Every structure is written in C-alpha cells, then in structure tokens.
Amino acid sequence: MATTDAGANSEAQPRARSERRLLTPEGVPLIFQLAERGERAAAVLIDLLIMFTAIAALVLAFYFGLGWLRIDGVAAGLMILISFLIRSFYFIYFELRWQGQTPGKRALGIRVIDRRGGYLRPDSVFARNLLREVELFLPMTVLFLPSEGSQGWVNLLTCVWVGIFLLLPFFNKDRLRAGDIVAGTWVISAPKALLLGDVAAEAARRKGHADEIDPAFPFSRSQLEIYGIYELQTLEEVLRQSGPQTAETRREVASRIQRKIGWAGEDNVDAERFLQAFYAALRAHLEARLLFGERRKNKHSRKRPGGEKA
Amino acid sequence: MSVPLKSPLKSFEFRREREKTWRELEDLVSRAERRGLKSLPADDLLRLPTLYRATLSSLSVARSISLDQNVLNYLESLSARAYFQVYGARSSLLEGIGYFLRRGFPGAVRAALWPNLLSALWMTLGAVIGFLLVEANADWYYSFVGTGMAGGRSPAASTDFLREGLYDGADSAADMLFHFATSLFSHNSAIGIFAFALGFALGVPTVLLLFYNGLTLGAFLALYDSRGLTWDLVGWLSVHGTTELLAIVLCGGGGLVLAGAIIFPDRETRLESLARRGRAAGTLIMGAVLMLFVAGFLEGFARQLVTDVTSRYVIGGAMLAFWLTYFALGGRDEQDGDD
C-alpha cells in the first residue's frame, strides 16, 4: 500500500517494518508503530489478572455475604451470571468506553485502532473480543483442566489447534491475532512525545546573537553538501543528549566531522559550539534544498538535479 | 530576547508561528485522555476539531519543510493522540446498545440470510439422520447423547420415567431454578460463541458442531417418539427451544460467514473480506448470546413452572413468532446506512 505517491508523499512513508501508514479522513497520512507482541501479551496478562481477581472477590463475597441468607440457588445463579458477564464483556466494555484501551492496554500504552482509519466501531470491538473465546479461554481450559478420559492423539490435536491460534501474531507482519483479522483492527503503541526546544535556535539565543547561524563558523556550500538528512538527525540526537559521557562524545563527533569536511579553521574550537553551528548551517542548507524538491536521505545518496531518487 | 525578522531557518519560523496552537491542543487532549472527552467544557469541545485540523496541517507542512526530528515526532504523536479523541468511539455504551437492538442485530440476521439457512439446514439434517438412526436401532442413542446429558433418559428407562422428566419441576424452589437458568445460559452461550469462533477454521468445526447438535436432538425425538410421547416432548422443548435453537442457528450462521469470507473472498483480499464480514458476524453473535440469555430463563423458569402442554406450545410459538417478526421487520423502516 505504500508504493504509490513516491514523490510528493515520500516523507510520510513508513520507515521501519513495524510502522504502518493510515490515511485520516482529512487526507493527511499518520504513521503508527505496531505494538510489540510482548507488550500485548503483558497487557492481556494484566487484564486477566484483574478479571480473575474480580471473579474471586465475587465468589468470596457471595460465599460469606449471602451464605447465611439461605438463598443458595440465587447466590450461585448470580455468581455464574456475573462471572460469565465479566468473562465475556470485560474487554468489550473497556474497549468501547476507553476508545480501544483496556486497563492492561492503558498500562502498556497501546490501543486498538481501525485498520482503515475510520471510527473504531462497536461491531469491531464485539468481533475481536468474541474470538478470544477460542484464542485465549479455550487454551487456558486445555492447559489447566486436562479432560479426563480422552485419548492422547485428541489431546495432541487440540494442542496443535490451540497453538495455531495462540501463535498467529508471530506468523504475519501486522502482528494480527485472529480477532484482529476478523474485526479489521490493528493494535498500535501510542507513546507521548514531548516538544523540546529547537537545538539551533536555543543555542543562538543562549549566546545572545540573533541569527541561528553562528558567524564564527562560516561553512562553505561544498562542506554542507557532504551530509544528508540521516546525519543531520543523528547530530540532533547528539546535541540533545545529556549525561556523563556527553562532552567526550561531542568532541569525538566534532573531530570526525572536521576531518570529513576538511575543516580549515582552528583546531581547538569548542566542540559543542562547533556542532551547534554546523547543525544550524546544515539544517538551513538541507531545508533550502527541500524547497527545491531535493530530499537527500543520507550521505550515500547521490545528488541528482530535479528531485530525489525515483 | 531579540526577534530576528528573517531567519535562515524557515522551519524555526514555522514552529514559532504555530507552537501556540499545538500547545493548546496538547493541553486539551491530555485532559480528555485523563478524564474523558465529556469532562471538557463546551468551548473546548468545539475548539478540539479546529485545533486538530490545524495541527494535522502543521504536520503535513512540517513533513515537507522541516528537518527538526523532535518537532516531527512531536507532531506525529500529538496528531495521533488528537485523532484518537476526535475519531474515537462515536457513541456511548447505551446508545450503542439501543442502536444494536433497533437495527444492528435484525439487520445482521437479514444480511447473513444464506449462511443462517445453511446452518439451519445442517442442524435439521443432523436431526433427521439422528432420528432415523435411533428409530432403526436404539443403540445409536448412546453414541449421540452423552450420559451426562441424558441424565437417565435412555432407551432403557421406563416410559413413566420419561414422562415424569417432562413434567417435574413444578415443585422446585424458585432460587434453584435461577441457578439452573443461569448455568444453562452460560453453557449454551459458550457453545454458541464457539460455533462462531470455529468458523475461522474454514467452518468445518462449525458444521460438525451444528450437525452433532442436530443428531442429539433427533435421537431424543426418536426415543420419545417410540414411547408415544412426541407431542409432550415437542411442547417441553418448544418453551425455550424455539429461542435456543434459533440462536444456535445464528451462531452457526456467523461461523459460516467467517468461513465464507476466507473461502470466497470475492474481489477483496482475504484479510479485507474477513475484516468486513467478520464485523457483521460479530454483531450476529452478540444478538445470539442475548437470545440464549432469554432462552436460559425460559428454560429455567417457564419450562419448570408451566406444566400444561398447551400453554407450553403457546409460549414457544409466541417466542418463535416474535423472533421471526423481529428479524424480518426490525429496523427496516430506517435507512440502512452501512459505512
């Protein structure tokens, strides 16, 4: 699905294997990260724990609370009914109410979305959670309550059958379980990103000059044409990081850049200041090239007039 | 701070102009995430879509002009979070249930007419074969009806015992009936959900389940028929059976819809076809579970308390008429607007 629009929309293409592109009704594609299988398993475990705790509490409450009322039939009936409701509707209730999240999913920061970018519809939620009956509850019954009197090969077949469902997310690239396939949903992780200061502008402001481009470091055009966007963004990470080794890393990065671009200025410049200046200059240069329709991915992509690599 | 009029970094200019909008949206979305969309005051609720679109447009521009990784990541994440709020679940739970009862369920039953008929056909086939086999040789009965299920109702039992089984219960305490009703309900709906979910395996287990259910039914009928108790047995069954058998047929139909989506994906890919039809089948099963709930209570209470054959037929017939009318007419007056 991500093969068309190579020119205009290339910046909105999924970059990694686990990223998925989804077209919003406004026509702007959003990129989501599929949730890890481990995250999903952990979320389910949390939810199961909550469910079983609730059911156990219920049983105890009825046993101690209603036992002396001598209405055993009603108590037992209610217990069966409520346990059934919890088992069948726990996931449905929360996914409807919390817009694709359950307590477990919320704890892990993942959620269910519609694969085609529309509303998460109630029937999707019904379908994906009803299938848990064969995916989750059947395996649990098989594992924990071995049926007496059945032959060995029946048990073996059951295990194979259960295994197919249980391991389904490992056999497709979208990490879909059977319920997701039937409901047309994805489970994605939705982390919160914070808006930090602009590296170039912050540096300029701290030093008190108005321009982001540090006048002490005049870079020539040919020096700026060596690197591409990947290197620029790696440099951004270096400049944003803080910790005990920061100064050393920066010195090393600065000297490597200086060697690569053939820096003719003084040798003993302040590494951080040099990197900030180079970052600002490189970004200004690459962004200017962007306006001309040239998106240079990294230092290996060859420069081509009139647009990026087709 | 001195503000330069013109900066070589256009992406920074761009950010400075729009950052206020982003921050405002972030604040709104964070509050909605913490306390629900309904907690937002009306003004904020009105601002949300506007801010969302503005931010989405920022994202679109930033992708083509900005190389500031942090700004891009921030806008991606913020747009996604706002998107979840703006395009989250559209209706409340109660509205959803109302819509489901008025239109969703009967519509889904009508949409899956052929799978449902096929499912009914399999069960009928099972019943006929079960009946004929047991009629020819009573030993077959033991193959079709497990000892737990039979509860002593076997060809070896006396006619009087069988007759009593149909009419006892009138003296049972009401609270025991409640227990009976709920356990029947959870047992039956587990089977129904199974029949649906097993449709994923190309429907083979679904068909087998339906067929086996039919065999059991047929075997029962043959046993009672051989003692001249057919009329009484059908009355006994019809109280809850009309509802319960219909629900099981619907569950089987839902399973066959899934199977059909895998085997005959038409022009879509199998994944798309499953996604589209699976949702409809999910609605079908929710409705069937609801019917089984009703059936459980009919079975637990009405059947045990009403011991007059004619009344039993009236109740069973009325339920059947009700369901069929509901499926045929429910929600037809409104425009069917799927997607």
Q: How far apart are CA B317 and CA B235, in angstroms?
A: 10
User: Where among A154, A189, A224 does a domain terminate?
Assistant: A189
A278 with A177, same domain: the answer is: no
Interface pTM, i.e. ipTM = 0.75
Q: Examine the domain organization and report whether A62 and A173 are in the same domain.
A: yes
Domain residues for the domain of A226 are 199-291
CA distance between the termini of chain A = 17
Say whether both A82 and A225 belong to one domain: no
Asked whether residue A215 is assigned to any structural domain, the reply reads: yes
Has residue A307 been placed in a domain?
Answer: no
Are residues A203 and A135 part of one domain?
A: no
Number of structural domains found in chain A = 2
Q: Does B263 touch chain A (CB under 8 A)?
A: no
A266 in a structural domain: yes
Statement to judge: residues A158 and A229 lie in one domain = no
Count chain A–chain B contacts defined by CB atoms under 8 A: 229
Same domain for A179 and A209, yes or no, is no
Establish if A160 belongs to a structural domain: yes
CB-facing half-sphere around the CA of A151: CA atoms within 13 A: 3
Put simply, the answer to whether B8 touches A211 (Cβ < 8 Å) is: yes
Closest Cα of chain B to A52: distance in Å? 17
Q: Is the pLDDT of residue B100 over 50?
A: yes
* Spacing of C-alpha A71 from chain mean position: 51
Q: Are residues A174 and A205 in the same domain?
A: no
Nearest CB among B3, B194, B271 relative to A181 is that of B271
pLDDT of residue B120: 92
Name the 3-class secondary structure at A189: strand
Closest to A183 (Cβ–Cβ): which among B173, B176, B279? B279
Q: Choose one of A142, A161, A189: the last residue of a domain.
A: A189
| Residue A253 in domain | yes
Which residue ranges of chain A lie beneath pLDDT 70? 1-15, 66-74, 138-139, 141-155, 157-158, 161, 203-216, 265-268, 302-310
pTM > 0.80: yes or no: no
The span from the CA of A74 to the CA of B72, in Å, is: 59
Per-residue pLDDT band for B338 (boundaries 50, 70, 90) equals very low
Of residues B69, B201, B276, nearest to A236 (C-beta): B69
In a domain, A300, yes or no: no
Closest by Cβ to B69, choosing from A72, A130, A233:
A233
Instruction: Say whether both A73 and A50 belong to one domain.
Output: yes
Side-chain-facing half-sphere of B248: CA atoms under 13 Å: 27
Q: A246 CB contacts (<8 Å, ≥6 apart)?
A: none
Q: Chain B interface, mutation test: which of A132, A182, A232, A308, most B Cβ atoms within 10 Å?
A: A182
Same domain? For A205 and A152 the reply is no
Q: Is pLDDT above 60 for B75?
A: yes
For B248, the token pair is: 């099981």
Q: Which stretch, A36-40, B203-207, B306-310, has highest mean pLDDT? A: A36-40
Q: Is B332 helix (H, G, I), strand (E, B) or coil?
A: coil
Domain boundaries, chain B: 10-86, 93-329
Q: Do A67 and A162 share a structural domain?
A: yes
Task: Give the pLDDT confidence of B176-200 residue by residue, as tens digits.
Answer: 666 666 666 777 777 777 777 777 7
**Residue bearing tokens 């895998």:** B262
Same domain for A221 and A166?
no
Do residues A181 and A239 share a domain? no
- Residues in CB range of B143: below 8 A, 6 or more apart: none
Instruction: Tell me the HSE value of A103 on the side-chain side, using a 13 A CA sphere.
Output: 8
Interface touch B67/A195, C-beta < 8 Å: no
Asked if residue A101 is part of any domain, the answer here is yes
Contact A99 B90 (CB under 8 A): no
Q: Is residue A274 part of a domain?
A: yes
